[in-house]
Copies of this chain bind each other. A is one copy, B any other.
Amino acid sequence: MPKGCKYGTHRVIEPKGVLPQPAWKIDNTMEIYDNEILIDVHTLNIDSASFTQIEQETGGDEGKIAQKMLEIVSQRGKHHNPVTGSGGMLVGTVREIGKDLQGKIDLKVGDKIATLVSLSLTPLVINRIKEIRKEIDQVDIDGQAILFESGIYAKLPDDMPETLALAVLDVAGAPAQTAKLVKPGDTVFIIGAGGKSGMLCLHEAKKRAGVTGKVIGMGHSEASCKRILELGLADVMIQGSATEPVDVLKKVEEVTDGELADITINCVNIPNTEMASILATKDKGLVYFFSMATSFTAAALGAEGIGKDVTMIIGNGYTKGHAEISLNVLRENPKLREVFEKLYA
């Protein structure tokens, strides 16, 4: 087979000219191009919104859920729910590596991986549905999938349960970006510090800012603030709501002697927290929005409205090495791993 487009446009059937994700139908022929990877799929982690929709449409009957899933894949060549528009991710074993990629990537046949690109753009064939685990939106199948050259993945580690690894990989971008942004001596302010990505970011921020830096977390509940201080993840915790910018500004001024933060990382998944993030950051500082509830215009006009010269970054879920960096947080921090095992695995 020839070499395909690295983004997979060679498999788009309709409409022409778009990328595989927005495409209605893609080619799921399980014969790989020279720059593709063939995967034997064990488990589909269906996106929660998508799985709930399928459950509701079918009344929760397992036979009908299976039938609906087979229908979607046969119509579209991918498990791209036409109602919710969402996909999910998959776990499988590498079956074959296209010859252009051999020796150029850190994978070999037989490696167990999780794909970190959406099922909504991944060519998929389901031969048989083996087990549906409704409570965690997982479906074991006998099937195959294809990863494009640009497709990202993570080798599943031997030293932690699959569920724990998946919980971390789900938010891998945030701690990896934190690791790349924070420098020794920085004052770092993390909003939504008590959540999954928040705690991973705290660990990386503390490690990179070091003894000359200061890591300030903000959480909503007293319990999560207390837990973070006990874990030693932050130097200071502020309890409050990130939707109250003036209050946040005052508190951050207090704990930084009016200096404010060099870097603010927003991990809180509620709207209207842009102004608090901008106000808490010093001029020429950096605001990194990882929250999917961020409004582009609220951030852009908000900073202009108060004449604040901050660099605002749209959180990219992917950065090189993000899976390795995030999984390693749990290896470095056994106490945090315990919390994650209790809460998310």
Report the contact-size class of chain A (Cβ under 8 Å from the partner): 35 or more
Known: A245-B19, A292-B300, A297-B292. A7 touches B306 (CB 8 A): yes
B300 and A309 form a contact (CB under 8 A): no
Determine the distance from Cα of A304 to Cα of B312 in the docked complex, in whole angstroms: 18
A318 and B304 form a contact (CB under 8 A): yes
Chain A contacts to B: CB under 8 angstroms: 7, 9, 17-19, 21, 116-118, 121, 150-152, 173, 244-247, 249, 275, 279, 283, 289, 292, 294-297, 299-301, 303-320
A246 and B9 form a contact (CB under 8 A): yes
B296 and A289 form a contact (CB under 8 A): yes
Q: What are the residues of chain B within 8 A of A305 when measuring CB–CB?
A: 19, 21, 117-118, 121
Instruction: Output the residue of A7, A152, A316, A319 with the most chain B CB within 10 A.
Output: A316
Determine the distance from Cα of A289 to Cα of B303 in the docked complex, in whole angstroms: 14
Shortest distance from the beta carbon of A278 to any chain B beta carbon, whole Å: 9
Using A118-B301, A299-B314, A309-B316 as known contacts, list a sample of 13 further A-B pairs with CB atoms less than 8 Å apart, ordered by residue number in A: A7-B249, A17-B246, A116-B304, A117-B304, A117-B307, A150-B306, A152-B304, A289-B314, A292-B296, A292-B300, A309-B319, A310-B316, A313-B314
Determine the distance from Cα of A324 to Cα of B39 in the docked complex, in whole angstroms: 57
Q: What are the residues of chain B within 8 A of A301 when measuring CB–CB?
A: 118, 317
A308 and B318 form a contact (CB under 8 A): yes
B314 and A312 form a contact (CB under 8 A): yes
Determine the distance from Cα of A283 to Cα of B320 in the docked complex, in whole angstroms: 10
Determine the distance from Cα of A185 to Cα of B236 in the docked complex, in whole angstroms: 44
Closest 9 CB pairs of A and B: A304-B317, A152-B307, A312-B314, A296-B296, A304-B318, A303-B316, A150-B307, A294-B296, A150-B306
